[in-house]
Amino acid sequence: MAIHGLMKYTPFYRELADVLVGVDRLKRSLSRLLWALRLTERLTREYSMKAAKCFSAEEARYIRREYYGRLASVLREVDEEFKLLNEAGGLLSKLPDIDPEKPTIVVAAPPNVGKSTLVRRVSTAEPEIASYPFTTKNLILGHIEVRKGVIVQIMDTPGLLDRPLSERNRIELQAITALKHVASVIIFMIDPTHHAGYPLKYQLRVLKEIADSFSDVPIVVAINKVDIAKPEDIEKAREEIAKMGLEFPLFEISAARGDGVDKLMKEVLRLILGST
Ligand SMILES: Nc1nc2c(ncn2[C@@H]2O[C@H](COP(=O)(O)OP(=O)(O)OP(=O)(O)O)[C@@H](O)[C@H]2O)c(=O)[nH]1
Ligand SMILES: [Mg+2]
């Protein structure tokens, strides 16, 4: 990633690191490790001097044992810090590598409505799909080649529940961080059937919250699973959205079968690229 790109997305990666590991925890661990490093350097100097001055092999062995003992006790003291850094390294190395030069579509919604199915259908990403909530636990980035040389990024996110920011867990907070920092446009998905397990009104409360929190980002709503939805369920979704005064472009799709997906993506790409 180019350095200016890194700078542009520093707040995104910093916030993700905070969500996933905790920046304060990470800083505390690093400063404890620095303390351990300084102490081991001091011990090494101290015991090298002692060893240089000793008169017998037995005395040297004794000094060496004492030196190793003290080193081991310093390392024991920072064992938790090593574990934390190891865990942090694992989590942070899996973060998506976003190109800030390219627009990013963020797909958000409550769990189990079909976000990953859509992202998998339209992009290079291959997120796991399953019929239970919170299948997706990380941000997953895919690419769409709109035409030769024009690439757009699309991000699959973990499901969002209807609850205040302060109660969101670290899985949901990744989605919020993506919406806040990298979304050029948001596709909000709704499941008008009972299959996702979240009633329509519940899903629309999440939509309202996203609309209020990210009012400067265009939102397109995709009513999904039209292959199994009853016409009255789809109509109800349209009515409820209108009743709430939410005026977003609405598309009826089946992410699984592909119906309506081209039309949806055409509008989304038009919003971020102008005419496609
Ligand atoms: N009939 C039908 N089923 C769908 C459609 N789209 C998704 N599904 C099913 O809905 C379930 C959830 O799909 P996912 O794509 O995993 O949903 P998600 O929103 O990514 O779920 P989380 O990652 O758990 O938030 C799976 O069983 C999919 O096969 C669709 O258009 N029609
Ligand atoms: Mg998913």
Could you give the percent of the chain with pLDDT greater than 90?
88
Strands 185-190 and 219-223: parallel
With 80 as the cut, is the pLDDT of residue 134 above it? yes
Q: Is the CB of 256 under 6 A from ligand 1?
A: yes
User: Which two three-digit tokens encode residue 225?
Assistant: 């699973």
CB 110 within 8 A of CB 160: yes
d(CA 166, CA 194): 28
Q: How many angstroms separate the alpha carbon of residue 78 from the centre of ligand 2?
A: 37
Question: Binning pLDDT at 50, 70 and 90, where does residue 3 land?
Answer: very low
Q: Is 114 in the pocket of ligand 1 (CB under 6 A)?
A: yes
The string of pLDDT tens digits covering residues 166-218 is 899 999 999 999 999 999 999 999 999 999 899 999 999 999 999 999 999 99
Q: Which two tokens stand for residue 177?
A: 């961080």
181 CA to middle of ligand 2, Å? Answer: 20
